Amino acid sequence: MSEPAVRVRDLVKTFEVTRKSPGLAGALKGLFRSERTTLTAVDHVSFDLDRGEMVGYIGPNGAGKSTTIKMLTGILTPTSGDVTALGLVPWRDRRAYTKSIGVVFGQRTQLWWDIAVVESFRLLREIYGVSEADYARRMKVFDDLLDVGRLLPQPVRKLSLGERMRCDLAASLLHEPTLLFLDEPTIGLDVVAKANVRSFLKEANKLLSTTVILTTHDLDDIEELCERVVLIDRGQILWDGSLRGLRDRHLPEARIRFDLNPIPAGDPAELSVGPWRAARLSQGRYQIVVDKREVGTADVLREVVRDLPVLDLAVGEPDIEEVVARIYRENAALRRPGAEALPEGGAPGAVAHRGVRRG
């Protein structure tokens, strides 16, 4: 396919925020004049999503993820810029567009709270005009993959978070949307529920070649599901590519964490392992941070096991929050006055600028 499923160009969203002064005097003052601040939530964002692609859209809280998703789903209208999704403009052709997309907000259910799950599904069947035959066939698939069959007679309010999420996912796919938005689909789920949701998404993506855009805090979601991540911070895209590439470029670290038995004499704060230093985390537990650009993790492991009385050992990588925090710091450093080529405030390309105006 030459035409991408979603095409985003120079998307900008600003909000006007009224700054409230504290106290009664402030409230009174606010009656007469209020200080308005313009906040740029999404700042010239551009990307394409190909059909059948599964993309992770990540970034810290307040980075502009949700605002972007809300524009892509047609809830919000952008301040400027273009979105063409499935050949439509989401906020302008909302009714037609919502027929071919599915949306899951991890924090909120789209099912009717008080009625049985199956009744919600029947309403959705009617709303999206799904035929009885398609409905039956799809419900069978949802039951196989998500085990929703036994949940159907229960009212939504009685379901656990994991059960509710499974039902919500099924509901969002009932009309076989070509484009699926998932906002934190695994938030608050336990390990088993997360695994279920992920394998379902993988399966659904494969079976229906649905284009999926996923926002999450959970690195494992991305790692298991997405070839590609788009990282946004302060409204701007800082990375668009593979997760491995993102990590390798910005935080190429591995953390080797191990427990020693017996505990080394004197419970030292640091141990030497060959040329590397292991920092004490707690009694008997140490960690070596390996810079992968300099040395292979396996080489370090070998020496640790050889030199020390290791009882247990684990290798980890920095999680997404850390990678993002690192990128954010680098990003902030670039923006300091005097840093080359980045204009201060106002100009496109500057990060989340604020302008104050009296209203």
Partner 1 sequence: MRSLRFHARLLALYFAQYAKARLAYRADFATAVLASFLGTAASFSVVLLLFSRFPHLAGWSFHEIVFLYGFSLLPYGFFNVLSGNLYEFADRYLVEGRFDRILLRPVSPLFQIFFESFRLESLQEVLTGAVAVAWAASKLPGLSPLGLALLPLWAVFGAVIYLSVFGILTASSFWIEDRVGLAPPVFNLMAFGRYPITIYDLKVKVLLSTVIPFAFASFYPTTLALGRTSFAPFFWAVPAVALLFAFLNRAIWRRGIAKYGSTGS
Q: Where does this chain bind partner 1 (CB under 8 A)? A: 15-16, 67, 70, 73-77, 79, 91, 94-96, 98-99, 101, 103, 105, 108, 110, 112, 114-115, 119, 122-123, 126-128, 155
Cβ burial of 233 (10 Å; 0-12, 13-18, 19+) is: buried
Query: Judged by CB, which is closer to partner 1: 214, or 290?
Result: 214
Cα–Cα distance list, 288 to 263, 276, 292, 342 (Å):
17, 7, 12, 37
- Residue 108 CB, shortest distance to partner 1, in Å, is 7
- Residue 98 CB, shortest distance to partner 1, in Å, is 5
Residues 347, 350, 351, 355, CA torsion sign = negative
- Residue 31 CB, shortest distance to partner 1, in Å, is 13
- Residue 211 CB, shortest distance to partner 1, in Å, is 17
**CA–CA separation, 271 vs 136, rounded Å?**
63
Q: What angle do CA 182, 185, 189 make, to 5 degrees?
A: 180
- Residue 30 CB, shortest distance to partner 1, in Å, is 12
- Residue 175 CB, shortest distance to partner 1, in Å, is 9
Query: Judged by CB, which is closer to partner 1: 115, or 289?
Result: 115
Q: What angle do CA 248, 199, 165 make, to 5 degrees?
A: 110
- Residue 34 CB, shortest distance to partner 1, in Å, is 12
**CA–CA separation, 307 vs 305, rounded Å?**
6
Residue 283 identity: Q
In the chain the beta strands, taken as DSSP E runs, fall at 6-19, 35-49, 54-58, 80-85, 101-105, 179-183, 211-215, 228-233, 236-241, 253-260, 270-273, 276-282, 285-291, 310-316, 354-358
What is the token pair recorded at 16?
Answer: 């006007």
Query: Judged by CB, which is closer to partner 1: 67, or 186?
Result: 67
What is the token pair recorded at 285?
Answer: 């537990």
